[in-house]
């Protein structure tokens, strides 16, 4: 590694690797520090399948049209007025060109209508998923001369007079201090930081499954806030989905998501139902359930199905627990058997009494099945505020001279409380590109 660095990029998810390529292409000497090992490169972006792109007409990636103004309207709608308008407009504009930029830098997309991904006019799907996409970007970065340091965590940032003067990097048993001309923080949210989650959610945090990388701990975000950066969003706001409680505590990705809830009932640890399973039949119902699970006693619950319900439900990564009777199922799941039987009987009775009911079917066809459920955290909605040039704002007004941010670490400027499918990657890539170009320009100023 050379000692002089124009642009230091912290974090190698989509925002970081795109920022590094953009800065390098603008002529800067770029180093990217990634806390994870090489095989995990790409952070949470490895797990992503699609991204939201603006386009005026059908193209090689998507059918139909989804114009920049449609995307802007969607962002404003889900943000409920709490949105940085200048950034939202820049993102809507960037979402029109970032697909071509990614393709020019090696990313391959699925052709619409050919393959297994759902057909969407709003989102394009990576060919083979997020992992090949980030691998292609890393290959491009290495080829054009970005210095990539894996297993290298940024542990400290030193500020002087409104600018970063030195960064402490720890990796391979050594600690190094660098003094880059500019820094781009792309280290994501704080969802993998169990003690931070405990500060927010209390003991319930121990039930939360982190769906993505264990390295996204928010230590850079914390350092920036401690140094006086202005914050955006709410530390207690996060995107949750219902996941299989038997999956790994970290990095299970999308396969542990549970999508069978509308085909049966959900009971809490006492064996009681606590919400209407048939009220939300959208494919994304698992997100509503993620939040409910967090509020349930001990932040866990159980999806209970009969053979008929399981046969109609989308399949899941792990096979469900199976039993010939509800009593045996309850014992296998650690639920009170008599209470589960009573809950299912009550549910079946209530369905039979609703003449012409269209939702829900009685649970009576053996065998019975159960999935333990936990809230799976996808990302937090808390970060630093940035200006339209992606420079980090200071709490006491103004911006830091040589500090930029892109990706989930600043996503709450746009998405403070809700989410639009595919916007996480779009936001990382489009703002990463802008931050890389701005940081390179600034370094040469």
Kindly state whether residue 47 participates in binding ligand FAD, applying the rule CB under 6 A. yes
Position among 233, 245, 370, 422 found at the interface with ligand FAD (CB under 6 A): 422
| CB of 240 or CB of 263, closer to ligand FAD | 240
Helix then strand count (H, E) for the chain reads 11, 17
Kindly state whether residue 49 participates in binding ligand FAD, applying the rule CB under 6 A. yes
| CB of 329 or CB of 439, closer to ligand FAD | 439
Size of the site for ligand FAD (CB under 6 A): 43
Residue 301 three-state SS = strand
Kindly state whether residue 416 participates in binding ligand FAD, applying the rule CB under 6 A. no
Only one of the segments 12-20, 70-78, 319-327, 352-360 lies at the binding site for ligand FAD (rule: CB under 6 A); that segment is: 12-20
Closest CA to 22 of 184, 131, 188: 184
Position among 9, 30, 45, 247 found at the interface with ligand FAD (CB under 6 A): 45
Q: Which of residues 153-212 bind ligand FAD (CB under 6 A)?
A: 153-154, 186-188, 211-212
DSSP string, 66-120: B-HHHHHHHHHHHHTT-S-HHHHHHHHHHHHHHHHHHHHTT--BPPTTSSSSPP-
CA distance 31 to 10: 9
Q: Which of residues 239-258 bind ligand FAD (CB under 6 A)?
A: 253-254
| CB of 154 or CB of 363, closer to ligand FAD | 154
Kindly state whether residue 215 participates in binding ligand FAD, applying the rule CB under 6 A. yes
Only one of the segments 37-45, 74-82, 242-250, 279-287 lies at the binding site for ligand FAD (rule: CB under 6 A); that segment is: 37-45
User: What share of residues in the chain are helix, strand, coil (percent, to 5)?
Assistant: 40, 25, 40
Residue 381 three-state SS = strand
Beta-bridged to residue 31, according to DSSP, are 8, 147
CB of 265 to ligand FAD, least distance (A): 26
Kindly state whether residue 407 participates in binding ligand FAD, applying the rule CB under 6 A. yes
User: Dihedral sign, CA of 437, 105, 1, 386?
Assistant: positive
- Judge residue 348's burial from the number of C-beta atoms within 10 Å of its C-beta, 0-12 exposed, 13-18 middle, 19 or more buried: middle
CA distance 255 to 253: 6
Q: Which residues bind ligand FAD (CB under 6 A)?
A: 10-16, 33-36, 43-45, 47-51, 153-154, 186-188, 211-213, 215-217, 219-220, 253-254, 378-379, 407-408, 422-425, 428
């Amino acid at each position: 590694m050379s000692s002089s660095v124009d642009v230091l990029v912290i974090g190698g998810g989509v925002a970081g690797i795109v920022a590094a390529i953009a800065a390098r292409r603008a002529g800067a000497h770029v180093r990217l520090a990634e806390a994870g090992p090489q095989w995990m490169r790409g952070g949470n972006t490895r797990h992503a399948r699609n991204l939201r792109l603006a386009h005026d007409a059908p193209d090689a990636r998507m059918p139909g049209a989804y114009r920049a103004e449609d995307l802007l309207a969607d962002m404003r709608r889900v943000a409920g007025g709490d949105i940085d308008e200048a950034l939202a407009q820049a993102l809507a504009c960037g979402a029109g060109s970032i697909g071509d930029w990614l393709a020019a830098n090696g990313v391959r997309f699925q052709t619409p209508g050919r393959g297994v991904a759902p057909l969407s006019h709003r989102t394009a799907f990576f060919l083979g998923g997020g992992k090949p996409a980030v691998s292609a970007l890393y290959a491009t970065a290495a080829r054009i001369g970005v210095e990539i340091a894996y297993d290298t965590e940024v542990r400290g940032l030193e500020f002087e007079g409104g600018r970063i003067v030195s960064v402490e990097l720890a990796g391979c048993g050594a600690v190094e201090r660098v003094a880059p001309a500019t820094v781009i923080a792309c280290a994501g949210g704080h969802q993998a930081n169990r003690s931070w989650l405990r500060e927010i959610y209390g003991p319930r945090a121990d039930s939360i499954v982190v769906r993505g990388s264990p390295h996204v701990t928010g230590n850079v975000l914390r350092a920036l806030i401690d140094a006086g950066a202005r914050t955006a969003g709410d530390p207690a706001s996060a995107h949750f989905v219902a996941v299989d409680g038997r999956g790994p505590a970290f990095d299970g990705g999308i396969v542990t998501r549970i999508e069978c809830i509308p085909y049966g009932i959900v009971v809490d640890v006492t064996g009681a139902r606590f919400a209407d399973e048939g009220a939300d039949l959208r494919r994304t119902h698992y997100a509503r359930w993620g939040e409910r699970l967090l509020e349930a006693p001990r932040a866990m619950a159980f999806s209970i199905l009969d053979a008929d319900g399981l046969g109609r439900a989308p399949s899941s990564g792990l096979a469900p627990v199976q039993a010939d009777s509800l009593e045996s199922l309850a014992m296998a799941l650690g639920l009170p058997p008599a209470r589960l039987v009573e809950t299912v009987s009550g549910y079946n009775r209530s369905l039979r009494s609703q003449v012409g009911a269209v939702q829900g079917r009685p649970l009576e066809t053996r065998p019975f099945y159960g999935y333990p459920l936990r809230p799976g955290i996808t990302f937090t909605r808390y970060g630093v505020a940035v200006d339209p040039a992606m420079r980090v704002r200071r709490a006491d007004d103004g911006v830091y001279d040589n500090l930029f941010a892109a990706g989930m670490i600043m996503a709450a400027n746009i998405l403070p409380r809700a989410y639009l499918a595919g916007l996480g990657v779009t936001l990382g890539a489009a703002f990463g590109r802008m931050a890389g170009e701005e940081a390179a320009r600034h370094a040469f100023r």
